[in-house]
Amino acid sequence: MLSKEDRTRLMEAARGAVSGSYSPYSRFRVGAAVLCDDGSIVTGANVENRSYGLTICAERSAVAAAVSMGKRRLAAVAVFCPDSRDPVPPCGACRQVLSEFAPADAPVLFFAGGGGTREVALGDLLPFDSLHDLAGR
């Protein structure tokens, strides 16, 4: 369960992470924050490349930063897209990477500049995840 305080800290961190976005092609800025099991928060932003396949999403940027710091267990994630009217969930690649380091019941918050926030469990975004399914056996 995500406390109100952690939820606020996580969302503020994701909002602040947008300032690091490098998005000259799409002009679609994204900031993400991951809450680690030790209570620390690590952020990331999307980094585009003119070869779109090489673009790094904010969520994966945050996870890579956390893992590079030795943090291997994530408790929650928040994603902020100020240039969208509606909340935008993590893409499939990000869902897969998040599932490597977060449990299926980890809260995933996503919100946008136009307002509104959605919160779902990671397992609901990535059902039948074999990593979590196999771990339960």
pLDDT per position as a tens digit, 79-115: 999 999 999 999 999 999 999 999 999 999 999 998 8
Per the structure, the count of domains in the chain is: 1
Model pLDDT for residues 9-26, shown as the tens digit of each residue:
999 999 999 999 999 999
Query: SS3 for 40-85, per residue?
Result: CEEEEECECCCCHHHCECHHHHHHHHHHHCCCCCEEEEEEEECCCC
Question: Does pTM surpass 0.85?
Answer: yes
Q: Is the pLDDT of residue 137 over 50?
A: no
Helix (H, G, I), strand (E, B) or coil at 91: coil
Give the model's pLDDT for residue 31. Answer: 98
Active site residues: 59
Domain that holds residue 105: 4-135
**Phi, psi at 80, each rounded to 5°:** -120, 130
CATH of the domain at 87: 3.40.140.10
